[in-house]
Structure formats: structure tokens, C-alpha cells
Structure 1
Amino acid sequence: MTTIPEMLNRLPADVRRTQLIEAGLTIAERSGIASVTVRAVAEQAHVSLGVVHYCFENKEALVAAMGEQLVTQLSGAMREALGAETTESAACLTGARGMRELLHRGLTAMWDIIENTADRQLLTYEITTYSLRSRAAGSTVAGNIGLLQYQVMDTEAAQFLARTAAFTSMAWTEPLSSLARAALATIDGLVLRWLVDRDSLAIIAELDDLAARFTTKAVPL
């Protein structure tokens, strides 16, 4: 009779990697990054130690993948917000007013994910702190995890802003890289504050203000 570990060991490499990343995230949510070890992940995923080592060279590589997974889950919410627009509504979402509306929709969709995954948002900050401490200790691989997180977020935010401008027939007056950095810095602060006080009503107003402020940085084509 085929056992569960044997069945899981036969998964395609990309599916197996996703499984192990989720196992690592589950452990970290429950007990923190320090508790994520190759052995713990193997036990959580019901696979052998060799399977984990085959997919990830070491713990640092696994934690880096975990950080990237957390970021892409959030950015996916914003992409879905744009993709869900119909042709009928698209005709109304043009100019500055349309841009503000679309920015607000994207930010709101992203925030829905944040509120429903508070533990994972806290974990994102923990992974960043882990990376910075590792860098200070001289670990290049682990020290680059934070950089990777923000590179992924910068790229996703810039793409979201570019699509929003194209969708509404507007053009940004500042470099996308600068706009993305400023937006993420604001969102970082909002998430951290919300994790402390859980004031969702304040967040609604702050997201609307963010959309309004960014709309002033664009002009009609």
C-alpha cells in the first residue's frame, strides 16, 4: 500500500516547492521564523528530509521563498481587481476621477486580503527582521531576503500603477519606481499600525486619501 510520504515525494518539483513553502508558513505563523527548520518542514509536509533539501538548499532559501510567496499573494489581489472590470464599467473609469476610483478598488482588494490574513502580515515583518539580523551577522543569503521582498513588491506596485494609468487614459508625472516606493512605504506603515490597533474604519479613510494623493501625480494623455 502506498504511504502518504511516498505519494507526496512523487509530486512535480514546482508543486512540491509550493507545498513546502506553505508548510514553512504554517509553522512560522504558529511558532515564529526561528521554529522553521528543514526537519520541521519535512514533518509538517509529511515528506523526507531529502525532499526538502532537493527543493531548497538551506533554511535561508526556504525563508526567501516564503517571503516572496507572501508578497505575491497580496499583489495578486490588486491584479484581480483590475482584471475583474467589465467593458461596460471601463468606459466610465477614465480621467482623474476614474483613476482615483480604480486605485481605491485595487487598494481595497489588497486590504481585504490583509485583514483576512493578519497572522501572515505579521510574519512578513518577522521575515524582514530575520533578514536584517542575518545581514548584520554576515549571512549573505539570508541577508538578501529583505531585498528580494521589496524588489518583488516594487515590481508589482509599479505594474499596478502602470496598468491603472493605461486603463484610465492617464500618464504619471513622476517615475514609476519612485511612485511605487512611496506607495509601499505608506502601505507598510498602515499595515503595521493596523496590526497594533485593528482600526479598520481609519484604514478606509487612509486608503481613500492615498488614492486621492496619487491621482494628483497624473495628468490626462
Structure 2
Amino acid sequence: MDKHGEGITGYIKVFIAIFVLVNPLEGIPFFLNNTRGMSTDQKNAIAKKTSTAVLFILIFSFFLGKYVLTLFGISTGAFTLAGGIIIFLISLSMVLGKSNQSDKSIPGDNQSSGSDFAIVPLAIPLLAGPGPISSMILYGGGTTNVWQLLVIPLIAFAVSVAVYFSLKAAVPLELKLKKTGVDVLTKVTGILISAIAVEMIHTGLLQLFPILGK
């Protein structure tokens, strides 16, 4: 981690950077679109599952990410390109109004197949995507002392808490927006996410084929 990561101000910058990249608000429309028919307890359980997954992904990337990419010979460009394609497909389903409605409201079953989206694709790659993962890998590779090894994971925890409360806040938001409002919000967000995905694909292609940028 370079000099900008030293001191309280530096760590605040790291938190802001990771928070903006994760962007919990981006996941709200997708969360609402895929939790219709579920009880509040089920929705809160999925919010907890997603935030826990985000925390695990960020910390794993910080400590072991660079070794995993090296082990499999995966470049940052390839990782970014793959993530962009996946996110684009997700955004396409949001715009077209497709969602997984099956097995979501089975009484007493909070672990039904309807909650599978909590980890994939909500936690990864929608929230903890190539951007946050790449940043955590870079922070992990640039650590210079034990203090940084302790603080950066705490920052990841703070971001995951923000994810949890953002998704939890979506429950009362759904009551105010109702079905039509959620549909509109989902489609608009889907268009925005598709634009982000295209940028990721573009970045990945430039990293893989620098000649395209000339």
C-alpha cells in the first residue's frame, strides 16, 4: 500500500474508494426484483447472506487474491472482461423484466433455491465485482506493516455492514414504491448497470489488447 494509505485520512480514502466501487445502492433494485413474495424475515436473511458474502470476497481478495490469479494465470484484464460480460447479462435481464420467481415463499424455508441469487450474482459480481476485488488485491499486495493488515479488513467489514443496511432499507422502500415503482426503478437501474458493464468490457479489452487503444 502506498503513502496515500498511511494515516487516518488515507484509510478514510480507502473506505470511500471501496464503498463507491461496491456501491450498495446499485444492488437494491435487483434485490427488490428478486425478493418479491418473500417475508420481511426472508429478505433480511438474504441481505445478511449477501453482506457476509461481500465481506468474505473482499477479505479473501485482500489476502489471497493475487495468488489465485497467478495460480490460474488470470490477468486483471481477463477478470475485468469476464465480470463485465456477466454484469451485462444481469442488466439485460433487469431491463427485460426477467426474474427468478420460483420457490421464493415456501413457509419456514429461508434457504430455498429462491435465495441462491444472494451470493451469485448479487454479492459477486454485481456488488463485489472486478473493481472492488482488483482494488483489494492491489491493497493487499502493497501492505507494508501489520497495522495495514488489520485496518483494511476492518474497512471491508464496514463496507459489508453498509451493504447489509442498504439492502435492509430496501424493504420499506418497496412498500412505498409498490410493484410499478419497483419495476421502473429496476429497469432504469438495469440500463445504468449495462452502461457500467460496457465500460468494464471496454477496459478489459484494452488491458488484454493495448493496440485497440491506439
Report the TM-score when normalising by structure 2. 0.32
Larger radius of gyration: 1
Higher relative contact order (CA 8 A, sep 6+): 2
Report the TM-score when normalising by structure 1. 0.31
